[in-house]
């Protein structure tokens, strides 16, 4: 930690900590210390944190709830900007809702349901924040958040705030334009539709019930490790089924295990390391490549200690 950066952070009035254990900031509960972790409470504070990192030559990475992230046991030599409950307001206007990036996705979905707004039922069980959902174009039941986006507010690499129309965001399955840019998603407006609140509530309960019965939620995990591939799906099925058929359920490296309940999940059985997860992913991909000829791509993202962050398989 350099005193110049610490001094600037202190002077800025930002809420920050040194050496925060990243295992407390991700669902896998894996990861060493971050040199700096900042938790901003406004767009201006987010811009300020980014500016300090940029001007001091420090790598920086924005995270939401860490439900799609693997951190390294060595931690992160830079600044983690955590966008969470401090920046999580929602404003309703008829069938439109504007939400800030730190809002917990299930809370947003429930708030919409309470107002009789339909369109987010599919997202009620996705355990991340709204900014992460937009970045990943997350969703379930063949729906993605991008389907309802009117516009997204971002902070670009030069610290300028910009508004992007939904059709400029390049949304496709688990993809958005944000993945290839050094931008920060600040918030977005969604266009929903009016429907019977009771009907929406029942639909959400059924989504949650199905997820509870399928997913190994009793262990730390990061959701689906591998993303769907249309051709693999057509020939062999979804990744979970393919991994299951390959007999890989229960395969274990250290304390990381391919879930016996859902083969596209890797669970932390207690004290798993990032190397355990890497090795297990290597084993699964090799076996599936040999059996099917398909190379599995990861949905999960990895933050390397030196500051890079991308799809995990790009680091193998
Ligand atoms: C049990 C479980 C079930 C899941 N089920 C689903 C599912 O059904 N469908 C689905 O799509 N996903 C699912 N996921 C994965 C995950 O919850 C989603 O991808 C979620 O939207 C990620 O949000 P997050 O806030 O946790 O993002 P994080 O994991 O914190 O970050 C993910 C990526 O987004 C970037 N990012 C986050 N916030 C911002 C921001 N404001 N600006 C710019 N970049 C940002 C990060 O840098 C990182 O690259 C599941 C995960 C778990 C653990």
Tens digits of residue pLDDT in 187-245: 999 999 999 999 999 999 999 999 999 999 999 999 999 999 999 999 999 999 999 99
For each of the domains in the chain, give its residue range(s) and CATH number, in order of start. 3-82 (3.30.43.10), 86-195 (3.30.465.10), 216-315 (3.90.78.10)
Does the pLDDT of residue 1 top 70, yes or no?
no
Per-residue pLDDT averaged across 129-135, rounded?
Answer: 98
Q: Determine which residue's CA is closest to atom 45 belonging to ligand 1.
A: 132
Does the pLDDT of residue 2 top 90, yes or no?
no
CB 274 within 8 A of CB 71: yes
* Beta-bridge partner residues of 187: 100, 153
Predicted confidence at residue 279, as pLDDT, reads 98
Of 67, 88, 176, 224, catalytic: 224
Does the pLDDT of residue 265 top 90, yes or no?
yes
Residue 57 falls in which region: left (phi positive, over 0), alpha (psi -120 to 50) or beta = left
- 174 is a catalytic site residue: yes
Please tell me the distance from the alpha carbon of residue 259 to that of residue 296, in angstroms, as a whole number.
17
146 lines ligand 1 (CB under 6 A): no
Per-residue pLDDT averaged across 256-279, rounded?
Answer: 98
Q: Determine which residue's CA is closest to atom 37 belonging to ligand 1.
A: 132
Q: What percent of the chain has pLDDT above 90?
A: 99
C-alpha dist (Å) from residue 87 to 40, 44, 217? 7, 11, 27
Predicted confidence at residue 3, as pLDDT, reads 81
68 CA from centroid of ligand 1 (Å) = 4
Of 100, 299, 301, 304, catalytic: 299
Predicted confidence at residue 49, as pLDDT, reads 98
Query: Strand, coil or helix: what is 227?
Result: coil
Q: Which residue has the tokens 């693997």?
A: 70
Q: Determine which residue's CA is closest to atom 8 belonging to ligand 1.
A: 140
Q: Counting runs of H as helices and runs of E as strands, what totals does the chain give?
A: 8, 17
Helix, strand and coil percent figures for the chain, each rounded to 5: 35, 25, 40
- 50 is a catalytic site residue: no
63 lines ligand 1 (CB under 6 A): yes
- 252 is a catalytic site residue: no
262 lines ligand 1 (CB under 6 A): no
56 lines ligand 1 (CB under 6 A): no
The two three-digit tokens of residue 167, written as one number: 């059709």
127 CA from centroid of ligand 1 (Å) = 8
Please tell me the distance from the alpha carbon of residue 309 to that of residue 53, in angstroms, as a whole number.
16
Predicted confidence at residue 234, as pLDDT, reads 98
Chain segment 82-98, per-residue pLDDT in tens = 999 999 999 999 999 99
CB 102 within 8 A of CB 64: yes
Neighbours of 61 (CB within 10 A): 21
117 CA from centroid of ligand 1 (Å) = 23
27 lines ligand 1 (CB under 6 A): yes
Contacts of 247 (CB under 8 A, 6+ apart): none
215 lines ligand 1 (CB under 6 A): yes
130 CA from centroid of ligand 1 (Å) = 8
Beta 149-155 vs 184-191: how paired, if at all? antiparallel
Predicted confidence at residue 275, as pLDDT, reads 98
- Which one, of 42, 77, 114, 70, lies nearest residue 305 by Cα? 77
| Max CA pair span of the chain | 58
At 183, the pLDDT band (50, 70, 90 cuts) reads very high
The preferred substitution site among 46, 49, 63 for testing ligand 1, maximizing ligand atoms within 8 Å of CB, is 63
Predicted confidence at residue 8, as pLDDT, reads 97
Average pLDDT value for the chain: 97
Sheet with 60-63, strands from edge to edge, namely 16-21, 33-38, 76-82, 60-63
59 lines ligand 1 (CB under 6 A): no
């Amino acid at each position: 930690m350099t005193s110049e950066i610490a001094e600037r952070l202190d002077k800025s009035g930002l809420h920050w900590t040194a050496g925060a254990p990243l295992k407390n900031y991700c669902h896998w509960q894996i990861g060493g210390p971050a040199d700096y972790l900042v938790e901003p409470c406004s767009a201006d504070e987010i811009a300020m944190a980014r500016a300090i990192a940029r001007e001091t030559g420090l790598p920086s990475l924005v995270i939401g709830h860490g439900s799609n992230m693997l951190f390294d046991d060595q931690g992160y030599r830079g600044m983690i900007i955590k966008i969470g409950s401090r920046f999580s307001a929602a404003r309703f206007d008829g069938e439109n809702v504007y939400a800030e990036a730190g809002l917990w996705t299930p809370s947003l979905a429930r708030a919409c349901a309470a107002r009789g707004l339909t369109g987010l039922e599919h997202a009620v069980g996705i355990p991340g924040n709204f900014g992460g959902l937009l970045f990943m174009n997350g969703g379930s039941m063949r729906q993605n958040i991008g389907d309802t986006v009117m516009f997204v507010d971002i902070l670009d690499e030069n610290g300028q705030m910009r508004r992007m129309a939904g059709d400029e965001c390049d949304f496709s399955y688990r993809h958005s334009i944000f993945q290839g840019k050094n931008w920060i998603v600040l918030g977005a407006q969604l266009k929903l539709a009016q429907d019977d609140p009771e009907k929406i509530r029942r639909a959400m309960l059924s989504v949650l019930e199905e997820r509870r019965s399928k997913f190994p939620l009793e262990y730390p995990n990061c959701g689906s490790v591998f993303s769907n591939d249309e051709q693999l799906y057509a020939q062999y099925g979804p990744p979970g089924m393919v991994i299951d058929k390959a007999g890989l359920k229960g395969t274990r490296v250290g304390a990381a295990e391919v879930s016996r309940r859902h083969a596209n999940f890797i669970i932390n059985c207690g004290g798993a390391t990032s190397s355990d997860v890497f090795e297990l992913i290597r084993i699964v991909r090799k076996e599936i490549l040999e059996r099917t000829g398909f190379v599995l791509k990861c949905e999960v993202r990895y933050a390397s200690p030196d500051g890079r962050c991308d799809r995990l398989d790009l680091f193998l």
